[in-house]
Structure 1
Amino acid sequence: MAFLFLLTMLEAGVITDVLLNHNWEKDFPGDPTGSFNTFKHFIRSNLEFCRWIGLCVVFIQGLCVVLAMLLKAMGPYLYYESDDDIHPERMPLFHNDVHPTYVY
């Protein structure tokens, strides 16, 4: 969970740098292939759209991390390391309780 949080914070930092820094292209290393110029042209021509997409992606990822922590904290099994610690019969999501139907 900590790794996902750090990865999301790194992604948010890069997106914030691109959104708020007007000289953001100087922060990236040089590109000998010229693909960065194509990327830069795309970002500049669609700046408002790219801002909203970047903010939405970071917001949704952060929301998913928060919801995962809430589900972990509220779950019935608070102190287990893996799914092997719990007997499969006690795990309702993995146990199929469908009873066979009999045709008379």
Structure 2
Amino acid sequence: FIAAHWQLGLQYKLGQGVAQNPEKAIEHLRIAADYDIVPAQTSLGELLAASNSAEALKWFEKAAEQDDSNAHVALAEIYLLGKNTERDPQKAYQHAKFAADQN
């Protein structure tokens, strides 16, 4: 059931088999993310980054705590550039290093 929300959220995010719809994607991904589907947390963060940076940061951090490399990449960029948060080169380095070590 929860995995279906994750998959449906991705379909709406990417426009696979359905019209691309960020609002529906967020709705479904949020359900999956609340149930600790880590890739859903990262995808949700990506969708929220432009409109709700605080919530996006929360989801990226939560996914990174569970060792999601994509979340670490996103956080490295956020902290390096100070995107809607205080710039923190040390945190940027830590997240980038983790992601590089995984990939």
**TM-score normalised according to structure 1 size:** 0.26
**TM-score normalised according to structure 2 size:** 0.26
